[in-house]
Amino acid sequence: MCFHNLQLSKAQFVIRSALQVLNEVLLDAGVHDSTQLVVVAGDLNLNASKSVMADALARAGFRDVVPTSRVPTTPARNLLEAGRHIDWAFIRRQSSQIR
């Protein structure tokens, strides 16, 4: 099993974009056998369901395994905002092996 625990802070986005960090993680995940469970999870500090991030993860064979992906994981900033979902968990493993 390979586990990547990402804790991306806003300061890291100044140095590198979240997509660059994700690409590094996906490159590392690519060296593992396709039968090995690979987990990418943590506070991504962004909406990983947006097309660019979601597409990169899907192309690498990852799927979202958090059933509460629509539940905010940050507090609301004001009365009109429900908060944002920034905590994510994705796995890659052959579907026949997922239990």
Residue 39 reports pLDDT greater than 90? yes
Domain boundaries, the chain: 2-97
CA–CA separation, 52 vs 40, rounded Å?
16
- Beta pairing partners, 90: 40, 64
d(CA 30, CA 71): 30
Instruction: Name the CATH topology of 2-97.
Output: Deoxyribonuclease I; Chain A (3.60.10)
Check residues 29 and 68 and name the one with the higher pLDDT: 29
Query: Do 92 and 29 touch, CB atoms closer than 8 A?
Result: yes
Reported as a single tens digit per residue, the pLDDT across 6-21 is 877 666 555 567 778 8
The whole-number pLDDT of residue 54 equals 82
CA angle 30, 31, 35 (to 5 degrees): 80
More confident residue, 94 or 44: 44
> Could you tell me the CA-to-CA distances from 13 to 16, 67, 84, 96 in Å, in that order?
5, 27, 17, 37
In eight-state DSSP terms, residue 26 is: H
